[in-house]
């Protein structure tokens, strides 16, 4: 595994635990997971571009439907 033995991996994990603390490790793991998922999604060829500045797509569709009914 990348030329690392068990001792080196344990030392790296202990250093990471000391630097970030036990409370931050789940947040770091979650961030890494989301990053990997996003990377896989972008590599898979899905050309979806989301340009909404924070609103849900459903809310925008509902607003468009209401405007179409009015006008």
3-state DSSP helix/strand/coil % of the chain, to nearest 5: 75, 0, 25
Does 70 reside within a domain? no
CATH number, domain with residue 13: 1.20.5
Q: Is the pLDDT of residue 50 over 70?
A: no
Question: Which of the four pLDDT bands, split at 50, 70 and 90, describes residue 46?
Answer: low
The whole domain housing 23 covers 1-44
- Does this model's pTM top 0.85? no
CB-side neighbour CA atoms (13 Å) of 6: 0
Give the span between the Cα atoms of 26 and 31, in whole angstroms. Answer: 9
Number of domains in the chain: 1
Give the span between the Cα atoms of 8 and 24, in whole angstroms. Answer: 22
Q: Is the pLDDT of residue 63 over 80?
A: no
Residues of the chain with pLDDT > 70, as a percent, come to 77
The predicted pLDDT at position 11 comes to 92
Does 27 reside within a domain? yes
Does 35 reside within a domain? yes
Does 20 reside within a domain? yes
Strands, E assignment, the chain: none
């Amino acid at each position: 595994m990348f030329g690392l033995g068990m001792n080196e991996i344990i030392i790296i994990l202990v250093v990471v635990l000391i630097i970030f603390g036990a409370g931050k490790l789940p947040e770091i793991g979650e961030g890494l997971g989301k990053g990997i998922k996003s990377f896989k999604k972008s590599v898979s060829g899905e050309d979806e571009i989301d340009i909404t500045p924070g609103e849900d797509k459903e809310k925008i569709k509902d607003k468009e439907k209401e405007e179409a009914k009015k006008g």
